[in-house]
Structure 1
Amino acid sequence: MGTRVESGIRRSRKARTAPFQKTCDAILERLIEARQEAGLNQREVSVKLGFSHSFLSKCETGERRIDVMELLQLAELYGKSADYFLKG
């Protein structure tokens, strides 16, 4: 299955046609933006939360989905509410 990268977000062909892809892309963009606004790089976040660096990288590129508890941890670290990531 082929992939392409757009705005730093990797997507499979199947994912590009998913009905919620725009929403997923927006959440990933806000996730990256929040980390950058917090002045943190991926390694720093990984160390602070006990995640592997590859885990966070895959989350930010869309290769791996983030569960709600992980999102809450990231939101707290970034000083954002969970709603910030989910807003339309």
Structure 2
Amino acid sequence: MSLFVTLSSGNGMKKDIYPEQLRAARALIGWTREDLASASGVTVRTLARIEGAQTIPRQTTLEALSSALEAAGIEFISENGGGPGVRLTSSPVRS
């Protein structure tokens, strides 16, 4: 069983993000842990612990990771009967 954390979005909705989703998201866009750490401001060590299900991240850490990946074109898919996942959006969000 994987650890997961619930991320509250700005619109009041919550979504679960699993360590597997973080790893899959990085793979989908070809990012290393170092790339995601740089884009999110989270240390590589912390990211490795989150992806390895060794810790449950703080809300702010998860928001930083999620925001960086979403800006790079990742969409998190909730566990809605088919299981959680990630996919590319039609176009990345540009800041």
| Interval containing the TM-score (normalised by the shorter chain) | 0.5 to 0.7
Amino acid at match of 2:39: K
| Residue of structure 1 aligned with 2:31, choices 40, 53, 59 | 40
**% identical aligned pairs:** 16
Residues 1-88 of structure 1 mapped to structure 2, 5 A cutoff: 21-22=1-2, 24=4, 27-79=18-70, 80=74, 84=76, 87-88=78-79
Bigger helix share: 1
Instruction: Give 5+ residue unaligned stretches, structure 1.
Output: 1-20
Displacement of 1:69 after TM fit? 2.1
Aligned length: 64
Q: What CA distance in whole angstroms lies between the structure 1 residues aligned with 2:47 and 2:27?
A: 13
TM-score normalized by the length of structure 1: 0.58
Contact 2:3-2:56 within 8 A present in 1 as well: no
TM-fit CA distance, 1:35: 1.5
- If the length of structure 2 is used for normalisation, what is the TM-score? 0.54
Counterpart residue identity of residue 43, structure 2:
S
For structure 2, the 5+ residue unaligned runs are 5-16, 80-95
Cα distance in 2, alignment partners of residues 61 and 22 from structure 1: 9
Partner AA of 1:39 in structure 2: G
